[in-house]
Chain A
Amino acid sequence: MFAFLVRRISQAVFVMLVISLLGFSIRHQIGDPVRDLVGVSVSVAEREALRDELGLNDPFHVQYLRFLKGLLKGDLGQSFFFKKPALDVILAKMPATLELVFCAGVIIVVFSVPLGMYAAIRPKSFFSRLIMGGSIVGVSIPVFLTAILLIYLFSVILGWLPSYGRGELVMVGGWQTGMLTADGWLHLILPSIALSSIMLPLFIRLIRSEMMEVLETEYIRFAHAKGLSKVRVWLVHGFRNTLLPVITVGGVQIGTMIAFTILTETVFQWHGMGFMFLEAVQRADTSLLVAYLMVVGFLFVVVNTLVDILYGIVNPKVRVSGRQ
């Protein structure tokens, strides 16, 4: 297990290096830190002097190493628009996004596991056909359309749920949370559903197809032949084997979730990282964009590493080969 961990973590570090190189190249090519610092109303000569002073005329690799050093210290550059360190801007927006992703994740897990398993166990029943039909519809409607339809139905027509913003927030430590007030929860409902609207049907379909394959195996037949109850065969023997491929695919899909937060947050005026990203694009705030890329890349790598470790815990074969 230890060797397995070391291998996984060194892979994660390598991926982070690649992402940082990418981020730096973007900033190197597109960004203009001088403009970020002094605006546009300063003479060319003065700018050139400033460039020298900031080391912007140094060779690429020297600048990249400096950038890396900054990264390690948590210095992701200065946001041109906010006039603050980019990391601070992002960290302030992060709780909003994380809470949204968390709620969407809970919805996905809570619904996809029982529905996917049911559809696998009783593939021909009416309810299974309904689930599968519904999941096709769910996958094929774009997130922003789902979001707009949800707002139209639950906010405009029925007036049950708020249509934008995070509602009443409470500050806990440095974390601005909407999960401690009733109003905050009400505001979370529609965006979370919208964000899960693609992944949920995808996971239902994935769990169903994997589970159906597992149910055909000899060890399931043997479990029945041992006289175990059906429920035990499905849950203990079937589901745990279904989990392995689901975890693998699920880890990859988390990246896609991040893209969907940009859409969801925009439609619901949800002031998180995705919303900030689009604003930064409009304002050409290159440093902030690069910082966003780095932070999201970092989150993605951390989550994927955790997923791999989880896979190792579920799959005994990985554990053993890691031990050797």
Chain B
Amino acid sequence: MNHLLEIRDLEVRFALRSGDLTAIDRIGFTLEKGERMGLVGESGAGKSVTGFSILNLISKPGYIAGGSIFFRGKDLAALSPEEMRSVRGNRISMIFQDPMMTLNPVMTIGDQMTESLMAHRKISRASAEALAVEKLQAVHIPSPEARLRQYPHEFSGGMRQRIVIAIALLTDPDLIIADEPTTALDVTIQAEIMDLLLELCTLKDMAMILITHDLGVVSQVTEKIAVMYAGKIVETGSTENIVARPQHPYTQGLIRALPGSREPGSRLYQIPGSMPNLSAIPKGCAFHPRCERAEEVCRREVPELLKRGTFQRLVACHLVGV
């Protein structure tokens, strides 16, 4: 089988002074060409680390401790730095959370766009600029020629995120990893940016990993979902299935916590407690201290991510399908 992206048993650790901390614990998923996947979970679940590890850009003490990341048949984790560089920003692009911080404040938008193209293609500056203008048009930035000469601080947050998206799209990548691309923006602009991303992905048949803690957005944009908890994937399957019939108690909690699912006038539901610190993950199922249905087996054994019962998905919960 030839997937666009196939992650197997990926394990990421941070070499801390107190010893190694496992942030990603043997996760795996696949992504086809043009497919969009949502990676959801609470803060600290390991979503961003997963995204960065695909491009081998995990921040300092972090390293890939095991597993493989096959992209178009090649294991990214085994590439030389120079080969990895030719994938980054070329076949796989990334969009970060805060557009106010993503662009270099002392360089013009034009320079930041053309340098990206010129790093991957033999192309003249003039044709790189022409392409940059074209992409700025694609993300609906008015009068793009003039905008090329401007600096990031001359744009609003929403405009900057559009520019970041334009940069990510410059080389028509196969996969785009968007790490909470709308969290830092005004609520009114969030939907616009999400619509734009969706439009561009469909147009170019581009695959996307959308990292977010907002299941509501994921359900509108993606075709499948992987729910992460404490460095593990606890439930994964098609978006439709999971949103309609969540099986893992954690996913059920996330969905109950959505503003839309509450009775008018009642208080917003919250999963009790908080995610454990990665250095103190409970024995057995990591979620059991917060789980209303936890049984003896949950405290004892780590549940595996399996197809359980007749459900069209993988779930890591002892209580599903028995």
- Residues in A lying within 8 Å of B, measured CB to CB: 217-219, 221-229, 232, 236-237, 240-241, 244, 314-317, 320
By beta carbon, the residue of chain A nearest B88 is A227
Say yes or no: is B275 at the interface (Cβ < 8 Å to chain A).
no
Say yes or no: is B292 at the interface (Cβ < 8 Å to chain A).
no
> Are A227 and B106 neighbours in the complex by a CB distance under 8 Å?
no
A218-B101, A222-B94 given. 13 additional CB < 8 A pairs?
A218-B98, A225-B94, A225-B96, A226-B115, A227-B86, A227-B88, A227-B119, A228-B89, A229-B119, A237-B107, A240-B106, A317-B105, A317-B153
- Convert B110-128 into 0s and 1s, putting 1 for each residue whose CB lies closer than 8 angstroms to a CB of A: 0000011001100000000
A226: chain B residues at CB < 8 Å are: 88-89, 93, 115-116, 119, 167
> Are A232 and B115 neighbours in the complex by a CB distance under 8 Å?
yes
By beta carbon, the residue of chain A nearest B56 is A224
B115: chain A residues at CB < 8 Å are: 226, 228, 232, 236
Which of B57, B98, B108 interacts with A224 by CB under 8 Å?
Answer: B57
A240: chain B residues at CB < 8 Å are: 106-107
B: interface residue count bin = 20 to 34
- Residues in B lying within 8 Å of A, measured CB to CB: 55, 57, 59, 85-90, 93-94, 96, 98, 101-108, 115-116, 119-120, 151, 153-154, 164, 167
> Are B119 and A320 neighbours in the complex by a CB distance under 8 Å?
no
Which of A217, A218, A228, A315 interacts with B116 by CB under 8 Å?
Answer: A228
A212 to chain B, nearest CB (A): 11
- Ranked nearest first, the 7 interchain pairs of A and B with the lowest CB-CB distance are A227-B89, A226-B89, A227-B88, A218-B101, A316-B151, A225-B94, A226-B116
By beta carbon, the residue of chain A nearest B151 is A316
In the bound assembly, the distance between CA atoms of A224 and B94 in angstroms comes to: 10
B160 to chain A, nearest CB (A): 11
In the bound assembly, the distance between CA atoms of A236 and B98 in angstroms comes to: 21
> Are B103 and A320 neighbours in the complex by a CB distance under 8 Å?
no
Given the known A-B contacts A222-B96, A226-B167, are A316 and B105 also in contact in the complex, defined by CB atoms under 8 Å? yes
B154: chain A residues at CB < 8 Å are: 320
B132 to chain A, nearest CB (A): 13
In the bound assembly, the distance between CA atoms of A224 and B81 in angstroms comes to: 11
> Are B153 and A223 neighbours in the complex by a CB distance under 8 Å?
no
In the bound assembly, the distance between CA atoms of A303 and B169 in angstroms comes to: 45
> Are B102 and A218 neighbours in the complex by a CB distance under 8 Å?
yes
In the bound assembly, the distance between CA atoms of A316 and B109 in angstroms comes to: 12
> Are A228 and B119 neighbours in the complex by a CB distance under 8 Å?
yes
B59: chain A residues at CB < 8 Å are: 221
5 interchain pairs, CB-CB under 8 A? A225-B57, A226-B116, A227-B87, A241-B106, A316-B151
A229: chain B residues at CB < 8 Å are: 85, 119
A304 to chain B, nearest CB (A): 21
Chain A contact residues: helix, strand, loop or mixed: helix
> Are A244 and B106 neighbours in the complex by a CB distance under 8 Å?
yes
By beta carbon, the residue of chain B nearest A315 is B106
In the bound assembly, the distance between CA atoms of A41 and B308 in angstroms comes to: 114
Which of A219, A227, A320 interacts with B90 by CB under 8 Å?
Answer: A227
> Are B106 and A225 neighbours in the complex by a CB distance under 8 Å?
no
In the bound assembly, the distance between CA atoms of A91 and B98 in angstroms comes to: 55
By beta carbon, the residue of chain B nearest A221 is B57
In the bound assembly, the distance between CA atoms of A236 and B107 in angstroms comes to: 9
> Are B167 and A320 neighbours in the complex by a CB distance under 8 Å?
no
> Are B106 and A224 neighbours in the complex by a CB distance under 8 Å?
no
A228: chain B residues at CB < 8 Å are: 85, 89, 115-116, 119
Which of B85, B96, B107 interacts with A221 by CB under 8 Å?
Answer: B96
By beta carbon, the residue of chain A nearest B59 is A221
Of residues A226, A228, A315, which shows the largest number of chain B Cβ atoms within 10 Å of its Cβ? A226
> Are B102 and A316 neighbours in the complex by a CB distance under 8 Å?
no
B85: chain A residues at CB < 8 Å are: 227-229
By beta carbon, the residue of chain A nearest B104 is A219
A237: chain B residues at CB < 8 Å are: 104, 107
A317: chain B residues at CB < 8 Å are: 105, 151, 153
In the bound assembly, the distance between CA atoms of A315 and B151 in angstroms comes to: 10
Which of A222, A225, A227 interacts with B120 by CB under 8 Å?
Answer: A227
A223: chain B residues at CB < 8 Å are: 104
> Are A225 and B105 neighbours in the complex by a CB distance under 8 Å?
no
Of residues A218, A241, A244, which shows the largest number of chain B Cβ atoms within 10 Å of its Cβ? A218
A244: chain B residues at CB < 8 Å are: 106
In the bound assembly, the distance between CA atoms of A240 and B167 in angstroms comes to: 21
In the bound assembly, the distance between CA atoms of A219 and B102 in angstroms comes to: 4
In the bound assembly, the distance between CA atoms of A227 and B84 in angstroms comes to: 8
> Are B105 and A232 neighbours in the complex by a CB distance under 8 Å?
no
In the bound assembly, the distance between CA atoms of A225 and B103 in angstroms comes to: 12
B257 to chain A, nearest CB (A): 28
By beta carbon, the residue of chain B nearest A228 is B119
A4 to chain B, nearest CB (A): 16
> Are B106 and A316 neighbours in the complex by a CB distance under 8 Å?
yes
B34 to chain A, nearest CB (A): 21
> Are A224 and B105 neighbours in the complex by a CB distance under 8 Å?
no
Of residues B104, B151, B164, which shows the largest number of chain A Cβ atoms within 10 Å of its Cβ? B104
B115 to chain A, nearest CB (A): 6
> Are B88 and A225 neighbours in the complex by a CB distance under 8 Å?
yes
> Are A320 and B89 neighbours in the complex by a CB distance under 8 Å?
no
In the bound assembly, the distance between CA atoms of A270 and B277 in angstroms comes to: 65
A229 to chain B, nearest CB (A): 7
In the bound assembly, the distance between CA atoms of A271 and B93 in angstroms comes to: 62
In the bound assembly, the distance between CA atoms of A237 and B116 in angstroms comes to: 12
In the bound assembly, the distance between CA atoms of A218 and B106 in angstroms comes to: 14
In the bound assembly, the distance between CA atoms of A237 and B151 in angstroms comes to: 14
In the bound assembly, the distance between CA atoms of A225 and B179 in angstroms comes to: 13
In the bound assembly, the distance between CA atoms of A227 and B59 in angstroms comes to: 16
A125 to chain B, nearest CB (A): 15
By beta carbon, the residue of chain B nearest A316 is B151
By beta carbon, the residue of chain A nearest B117 is A226
B168 to chain A, nearest CB (A): 9
